[in-house]
Every structure is written in C-alpha cells, then in structure tokens.
Amino acid sequence: MAIFDQDAELMDRRDMAQLQLERLQATLHRVYKNVKFYKKKFDEVGFLPEDCQSLEDLARLPFTTRQDLAAGYPYEMFAVPLREVVRIHSSTGSPGAPIVMGYTARDLRNWAKLAARVLTAAGVDRDDVVQVTLSYGLLTSAFGLHYGVELLGASVIPTGPGSTARQVQIMRDYRTTVLVSTPSYAQVLADQMEAQGVDPKSLHLKLALLAGEPWTEGQRREIESRLYLTALDHYALSEAMGPGVAGECEHRRGMHLHEDHFLPEIIDPKSGEPMPAGELGELVLTTITKEAAPLVRFRTGDLCRLLYEPCPCSRTLVRISRIKGRSDAVVIVKGINIFPGRVGQILAAIQGDEPAYQLVIGREGHLDYLEIKIEVREGLFFDKMTKQREFLQQLTRKLAQGIGVQPRVKLVEPHSISREAETSPLVIDLRK
C-alpha cells in the first residue's frame, strides 16, 4: 500500500517527539505574542513560552474550549493579521455563536497534504473518481478532502449533499469509485438504490470514506454489504482544521493521527487530569503547525483511546480508536445515551442542511419520552416528499435508527427555535 508522505508517516518516534517539541515551542511563542486570549491564559498560570522545555510541560497550561472559541467571534483567536488569511470557514452556530476558522495559504497547503495522506492510506490513487457528498459551504467538511483528492491527482466530483436520486445517477454514469459522505448518508444512498432498483454490484464503487458523526462497527458492516464496498473511518475536526486530522489505513486498527501537526493528549473529562496510555478518555489536541488559528490544548469533547502498538502498515503515527461519543451534553433517555448533536447530523444527512432543532425530554408515568422539535424552513426536506405524514414517518424512522430511541417528531414554525438560538438550549429536560 502506498504512503503519501513517507518521511512523516514512517518517522522514528524519537525524531517525531523532537519535531513536535520544536513545533510546539514555536506555536506557544506565536500565540503568546499574537492572541490576547492565550497571553491572558498563560499569564494566569505564570507560564512563559520559554518554560516549555519538554512535551510534558504542555500539561501545565489550561484547556481551550468551544465556548472560548465562540467568545472570540469573529477574529479574536487569529494569530495572524487578516490580510494573511486566505480562507474563512465557520460552524453553524446553532445553538450559540459560530466558531470561525481561518487559514493562511500555508495552512491550506498543509490541509491538502494531510487529506491526501488520509486518502492514500485508505487506498485512493490517481485512477480513482471521488464523489464528495459532504457540504460545500461554511463548514470545512467537503473542502478538505476535495483539495486532497486533487493533490493526489485523482478526479473529484463535488456533488455536495442532497438530491439523492441524482447522486446515484452520477455515481453510475461517471463511474464513481470512492464515496465521501457521512455514515448516515451512505445508508440513505443505499436506501435510494434499493428504491430505484440499482444493484450496487453494477456500480464501480470500491471504497467509502466516512466521518462527521459517531458510528459503529455494526453500521460499517451494514454499509459495506449494502453498498458492496470497503468503508473506512477518518477523523474530521473543524476547529483543528477539518478532515485530514486522522484516518484509518486498510488494517482498520484505529485512525493514524498526523502527529507532526497535531499533538494529542487523553484526559479524564471530569477531572481534566491526563490518563494513562491506552485508556478511554477525552481527546485534547494542540495544533503545532497552524498559522492562522492555532489551538492550545483544545478539548474536542470526543471520547477515544490512543493506540501506540505498531500497525502492520508500518506507519509509526499513533492511532486514535473509533470515537465512542462525546463527553459533554450526553442525555440519557430510557437508559440510552443520546448525543444531541447526533440528531443534527442525521437531519443534515437527510437533506444536507442542518435545521434548528431542540430535544425535549419528559416522563409520563415511569416512562421517558423524547420529543424532537424541528424547524421547517422553505424547501427543507421536501425533496420528492410532498406528503407531510409520509415524511414525518420516514424522519422518525431515521432518527430512531440513528439514536436508538423512538422519538416524537414535531415540525415547528420557521424561526421559532433559531430566533432564540443564543438563549434556547438544545436540550430541555423536564424530568429534573
């Protein structure tokens, strides 16, 4: 199997540690000098950039959270003047203020290279035709892989999300070999093929690169057998860059993390203390090459393990295990852990656009119920589905499959939730 960047991906681990330390020191100097937020945080704990003499010293610094990034809206977290920023992405900001991500020209070059590493590790080469069904827009999801495909010299079809029947037609006519999507949208595509009577075996698909939501080995098996391809996981974290942070190789033993650009730690999500190697905890990342918007000890909220055992592919990069879910905002309904953000991902996978929504959890007698309110926007969801009842049933079924609990779905007036995005919580728990 090919390796895109042998120098980095096969680097001796001691050399890697040395490279990481040098890059970390440079990053800490840069953010201390250029980002008020970090200067204040470092000063509060009496830490000067030159105090970083080993990688362990990083643990003396406080964490950076999504709330911190949102509070810096729009440009407070940038470490370079705006004239050096050549691309701006942002999160949807629902609920709360959006998080703005900036990229210098060098950041974009690095992004394409790292995406190319992920694609190569998955087995993509210049003969492939890659259909990207992720969202092209403010979100980082589609662009990162898009430029990685081009850098590799493969062909990219930027369909973006939605119009599922047309996606299948393009897949067939353009002889797509690689699908880039979310796991739930891969399932939507499989449903569509069934409905259209298209046999996946008659297509040229060989690989699906899936990310954007927590998914399971069970979903992997289902997608692989229904679409007749190999499905691989990768890790896309917008705040750190987007897709390209980590990806599985053919051996599927976790996702190789690009440690020469992202320094990982695993912490206990409750105490914030570092966890021993191999333990399940929250992933914390420090970016060590990003110029425009570097992150120091960013709490990803994603639960996983770091795997240091050698991989048969010979890459020496540490691997992160499949993301087990999120450490924050978990609600338990009928004994099942629900990650509220998952609902948004499922809705986005159906239409490619995340509507405003809200979870209301209550109890009737001894039984919990979950109501999901979804704001209807013009044109939303009614792609080939004009009957509201049918639509509601299908939506309820998809949500139930995705979160493991049968919800009551309620469509609400435009702007009734989003209008109050700053103040209205994503989850209202009436049981308390």
- Which residues are near Zn ion by CB under 5 A? 249, 251, 311, 313, 315
**Residue number, 145 or 313, with CB nearest to Zn ion:** 313
Hey, what amino acid is at 330? Answer: V
| Residue 249 C-beta: closest distance to Zn ion, Å | 3
Dist. CA 405–CA 316, nearest whole Å: 40
Dist. CA 276–CA 303, nearest whole Å: 14
Closest CA to 377 of 342, 341, 352, 406: 352
Hey, what amino acid is at 241? Answer: M
| Residue 246 C-beta: closest distance to Zn ion, Å | 11
| Residue 313 C-beta: closest distance to Zn ion, Å | 3
Q: Which residues pair with 403 in a beta bridge?
A: none
| Residue 87 C-beta: closest distance to Zn ion, Å | 30
**Residue number, 243 or 294, with CB nearest to Zn ion:** 243
Residue 112 near residue 151, CB atoms below 8 Å = yes
Hey, what amino acid is at 221? Answer: R
| Residue 399 C-beta: closest distance to Zn ion, Å | 35
Q: Which tokens hold the place of 413?
A: 């007036």
| Residue 300 C-beta: closest distance to Zn ion, Å | 21
**Residue number, 67 or 314, with CB nearest to Zn ion:** 314
**Residue number, 320 or 349, with CB nearest to Zn ion:** 320
**Residue number, 117 or 373, with CB nearest to Zn ion:** 117
Residue 85 near residue 292, CB atoms below 8 Å = yes
Hey, what amino acid is at 405? Answer: V
CB atoms within 10 A of CB 151: 18
Dist. CA 365–CA 314, nearest whole Å: 57
Alpha-carbon distances, residue 198 vs 191, 227, 249, 341, 414 (angstroms): 10, 10, 29, 32, 36
**Residue number, 146 or 315, with CB nearest to Zn ion:** 315
CB atoms within 10 A of CB 304: 25
| Residue 349 C-beta: closest distance to Zn ion, Å | 28
Q: For residue 42, what is the DSSP state?
A: H
**Residue number, 21 or 318, with CB nearest to Zn ion:** 318
| Residue 310 C-beta: closest distance to Zn ion, Å | 9
Alpha-carbon distances, residue 199 vs 63, 163, 191 (angstroms): 49, 19, 11
The burial of 53, by beta-carbon neighbours within 10 Å (0-12 exposed, 13-18 middle, 19 or more buried), is given as exposed
| Residue 169 C-beta: closest distance to Zn ion, Å | 35
**Residue number, 232 or 374, with CB nearest to Zn ion:** 232
Dist. CA 325–CA 305, nearest whole Å: 12
CB atoms within 10 A of CB 220: 20
**Residue number, 307 or 374, with CB nearest to Zn ion:** 307
Dist. CA 292–CA 380, nearest whole Å: 35
